[in-house]
Structure 1
Amino acid sequence: MKHGFVFFLVLISISAKAQSQETITKYLDSAWNKLPDAKNAAYYRTLEVTNQLSLVRTYYISGKLKDVTECDRDNPVIRNGKSLSYYEDGTLESEEHSVDGKETGVYKTYYKSGKPEKEMIRHPLPGVADDVFVHYYTEDGKDQISSGNGIVKVPIEGDFDQYEEIRDSLTVSLYNVHKTTQDTVYLTIEKIAEYRGGLSALARDVSASLRYPKSARRSGLQGTVFVSFVIDKQGMITDVEVLKGFDAACDDEAMAVVKSLKPWIPGESRGKIVKCRFVLPIKFKLRP
């Protein structure tokens, strides 16, 4: 009787473990593109379904946890609960919360040292899209927006320093300053650059110029090319590059289309005309 009782408990344990087994769902490169296998992968993602929810985890290829997100049990694409992300050494990088796929509540990030970096409130009121800043600390613990206003230097790699201007606890602009030339390019500003004639004219001109590369057409390739470019103070397009593409010929065609566009109305910050960066998605879709 005693042995049978133990055996029964073991069966329950094995059954429960099998129902919530964690399985690998995809491999990803450093740019988060899906790969067919672990070769050249920087990360891999797993799924674990429990009685109450789904847990989606991303791991560094080393096997260390990068992030874990609570999702809808029947539709793991929908975030529904807490999300935590980690640096590769295991230090907490960020924590946030989502309800029915929408980020809401307190969002916190941390420096690699483990010290708090910033704290925000996501979508504090119904219909309000802006995130409200509560704190934005330097690594030595100084709050840079104690009064709700300030210009914060954002740590990034490369040739630029990045700055975020916060006014009344809201981001009003984000801009990069070249470390050598001091050239400034705005990423988000109060008055964004506008194509002459508006979005409908932009869509019309892109459609009129776009040609489907024959090689891509023959191979049945479809996808979206994300083209980044700078609109200078005269409204001219410069520094065109592909942020994310899917085929070399289509990438080249998308860049050529952007370069052929008419001049824009330049963006403004604090009433002054400034350079700003724009990202335009260009779709290549074959007709049935």
Structure 2
Amino acid sequence: MTTAIETRELGKTYGRIAALSDCTLSVPEGQLVALVGPNGAGKSTLLNLVVGLAAPSSGEVSVLDGVPAGSPAALDGIAFVAQDMPLYRNLSATGLIHLTRNLNQRFDDDYARRRLDDVGIPPRQKAGKLSGGQRAQLALTLALARHPRLLVLDEPTAPLDPLARHDFMAAVMTAMAEDGISVVLSSHVLAELERVADHLVLISRGRVRLDGAVEDLLAAHRLVTGPRDEHLDPRWRAIQQTTAGAQSHLVVEAPPDSPTPLGWEGRPISLEALTMAYLREDARTSGPTPLEALR
């Protein structure tokens, strides 16, 4: 299996603070990978290492099936859209196309102009005068016109309204279908990720908690309800537990073929519920996240 991103014991420290520790994961090519975690968890740190905006303090990171992150070959094959969508506000859409073309070895000018026309962005309109949804589409257009093999999106839909967010994600899915690109999307909108994600990477407190195909992770976890004081199957691991009267409600990691015990009720788990269970498990640990300690 070819990989879009692969890390081995990757770490990044700022002074004595570890923003990312012992990060080992393998992200397959050709899929949409959801990167989730709370603020300060290390998601942006990981993405900055992947796209070459930062250097590791320890470990290794490669992209595009073994190319060192930050190398010329890696930079040529990766496009990055950040949350703040850093566009020169005083440049027009056409001016930004011209600038981006001159700064990159590969840029499809005709594609960019066609796409701006398709999404209704006036070519002479300055970026600072565009709506939030239009700025997001402009930033995405500049990224896709490079025809990358890997598109990295760091919470680009966070400031958008629901319609603009839907249109942005529709454009991403179209690019995947037409060009076969890999996508890594960092987002807090779990319901949105449930519809589109093939692979999940969950980071909390600078460490990878989950890394795997969404289908496999959902099959390995379930929601169960049963008697409060009843012992669980020893093959099960409780991720989260709440009680109400004589009943216990749990999120458990369990072998897919293990039966639900007599007297218990089991049902499939959603990606959102699975993610929240792991985040709540980590939230029980006292103290700030590594990056929050820097503030």
Fold conserved between structures, TM > 0.5: no
In our comparison, the structure showing a higher alpha carbon Rg is 1
Higher helix content, 1 or 2: 2
- The normalised TM-score by structure 2 is 0.26
